[in-house]
Structures are given as C-alpha cells and as structure tokens.
Structure 1
Amino acid sequence: MAFIEPVRLEGQHLVLEPLSLEHLDGLKAAVSDGELWQLWYTSAPHPERMAAEIERRLGLLEQGLMLPFALRRTDNGQLCGMTTLTNVDAKNRRVEIGYTWLAKSAQRTAINTEAKLMLLTHAFEALGCIAVEFRTHFMNHQSRAAIARLGARQDGILRNHQIMADGSYRDTVVFSIIEGEWPMVRRHLRHQLERR
C-alpha cells in the first residue's frame, strides 16, 4: 500500500476533495477572486494555466510525491482554492503542507484554519508522520503570520533557495510541527475554530 492515497476530508466549513480535472472551472473562478496570480510572491496559477497546474499536481500524485486537494466551501458549495501534502518522504514519515492558495473571499476566515487542521490530522494520525513542514516566500508576510498562528515553529530561512519564474531569487522560510507538538497544536486549532 502506498504511503499516500487520495482521500476526502470533511469539516464544518469546507471539504477537501481529491483534485481532478472536473474542478477546472471552479478553480478558475476561485483564483480570479482577487486575481491571485498577480501576487509576485505566490505560485497561484493564471486561469489560462489552471488545467496544466491540475495535471502537474496529478502527475506528482501518480509518482507518490504529492497528495493534491481542491477546497470546497460548505456554506455555498463553491471551490475556493487548492492545497497539497507535498515533498512526501515516506521512509522518514515527513510531509509538507504547501502549494496552497485561497480565493480572496476565503482568506482570513475559518477555512484556512480548518483546512490545516484536517491536513495535520491526516498527516499525524492517519499517516503517522513524525513532522510536517510549511514553506513560504520570505516576502509573503501574510502567509508567514498565518503559519505561525497555526502553532508551527520557524526552523530557518533557505536563502537563494529557488529561482522564480521572473528570474528573481526566492528566500524560503521553513516552519514545522513535530509529532510531540501535535496534541497542543490540535487543541489550539480546535479552540480557534470554536471562536469563529
């Protein structure tokens, strides 16, 4: 049995559905909410490149390197973004939660918190991970603050870590939650959701 397999995760505010090309139109609409592809420090795809991005993620799923999801709101049934478990290291039972983007209308709501709670629960409790990483662009201060609010700790900064599509260099900030911290983080995230 593979370390990762497509799975549907259901919460109060959203459902994480295994990504498929059937999500194409809804994800085009979601990424257009806020024109997310114009933010230079993110990797949200342009609507015209959404099909290629879905196919890329599905190819990584076939290789056992990524578990991609589409995010669907429960209040209106609309798709509002994408996320993944990526950089899968089955031998060392580690994954990264990444390649996440949310429609502007879904940002700063309970959706991100619940999505992360469901992904972390799956990683630690179903997959038996010993650590879960988060990575973001150094200049993406909104993302860095959101990751810290989850209870993740900053491990460090990988300087000149990647070359961006425009040729600029990306410094990547790395955060993680380790298995010993998971019970406290889970309690914290549940508390955050109860307050919304």
Structure 2
Amino acid sequence: MNKNWIIHPTILTGQTVDLLPLQKEHFEELCLAATDKELWKHTPKDCSDKEIFENVYSASLIEREKGNEYPFVIYHKPTKKIIGSTRFFEIFPEHRKLEIGWTWIVKEYWGTNVNFECKFLLLSFCFEGILRKDKIQDNGTTRNAAYFSILDDEWEDAKTKLITQLYKQPKASR
C-alpha cells in the first residue's frame, strides 16, 4: 500500500471549520470534548471513557502512519476550539477508494452546518450503498451503514449543489 496517497500534513480549510491532521498535542482538548456519553450513542464504540478514548486515539495515529486512515480534528474558527473529529479510513490507493466517517461533533454544534461543511471539505479533497450488518458494536448489536458515491465525472455537478445547500444552512457561529 502506498502510505503517501494522502500527503501528511493535509489541512482542509473551510469558512467555519478547518480539518487539521490529528496530532498528539490535540489529545487533552479532544478527550475533554469526547466525555459526553450522548456523542457515542449511535456509534460502534463508546469513547467517553478516557482510557478507551486514548486507545482509539493512539490507534488512529498508528493507522495514519500505515496509510490506512487519515484522522482530522475539527477546528472551529470562530471559537478557536477543537469540537470533534472526522477521518478518511479504509484507504485503498490501489483501487482509488476510501471512506469518509468516524465523525463526531460536540452537541453544541449539532444542527448547525459544521458536519455539512466537514463532509464538503472531505468530498472536495477526494471523490459506495448500504453495508448491512457490517460492524458489531460494543453492546453486541450490528450496525448498518449508508454510503454515498460520487464518480469523478459527477463531482462538478454535485459540488455545485453542495455549495448551494451549504450557504442555505444556518451559520455555525456559536
């Protein structure tokens, strides 16, 4: 695998948020933001516990070094705070494929355009269906995951529609 498919450091810059490469020095601020159990209610793993969070955090840095993931912190420009995380994962350069997800954002920014802008930035950087029962969660249940696909020749039209939608959303100015 070509571990340089996404060159480090990659910074994705938006109007309200920047996606910065996850670094060791982000740990304390991000860990504090992750303590709300409600953030993890619909995810495969509850990372509100500091020890679990630290294990996932460390694994993310290792997986980036291997070229399997590229984790970001979500930096909210107006408040100058880290308010969550998102990533590229399941990176397969030989198939020109990766997935977008593992996104979590502190509750204060739910219902704003923060998540929308994050996804827009990730989609702008790169370019499949429902994965049925693809993950077993900590509580033993299985998870279905919806995936969206954009082919390179569809991107310009999709990008225009996303930009239009982005600026219709209420501003995330909290």
The Cα offsets for residues 64-110 of structure 1, whole Å up to 9 and x where unpaired, read as 11111000101101111111111111012111101111111112212
Question: Which segments of 5 or more consecutive residues in structure 2 lack a partner in the other structure?
Answer: none
> Within the alignment, does 1:165 sit opposite 2:104 as a pair?
no
> Within the alignment, does 1:95 sit opposite 2:95 as a pair?
no
> Within the alignment, does 1:194 sit opposite 2:167 as a pair?
yes
Alpha-carbon distance change, 74 to 22 in structure 1, aligned in 2, over 3 angstroms: same
Which residue matches 1:62?
65
The 8 Å contact of residues 14 and 121 in structure 2, kept in 1 or not, is answered as yes
Which residue matches 1:176?
149
> Within the alignment, does 1:80 sit opposite 2:53 as a pair?
no
- Of all paired residues, the percent bearing the same amino acid is 31
One-letter identity of the residue aligned with 2:105: L
Q: Which is strand-richer, 1 or 2?
A: 1
Question: Which segments of 5 or more consecutive residues in structure 1 lack a partner in the other structure?
Answer: 125-132, 134-154
Structure with higher RCO (Cα < 8 A, 6+ apart): 2
The Cα offsets for residues 1-31 of structure 1, whole Å up to 9 and x where unpaired, read as 7211221111110111110121112112322
Count residues in correspondence: 165
C-alpha distance in structure 2 between counterparts of 1:34 and 1:185, whole Å: 34
Which residue matches 2:32?
29
Q: 1:46 aligns with which of 45, 48, 67?
A: 48
C-alpha distance in structure 1 between counterparts of 2:57 and 2:37, whole Å: 20
C-alpha distance in structure 2 between counterparts of 1:32 and 1:58, whole Å: 20
One-letter identity of the residue aligned with 2:160: R
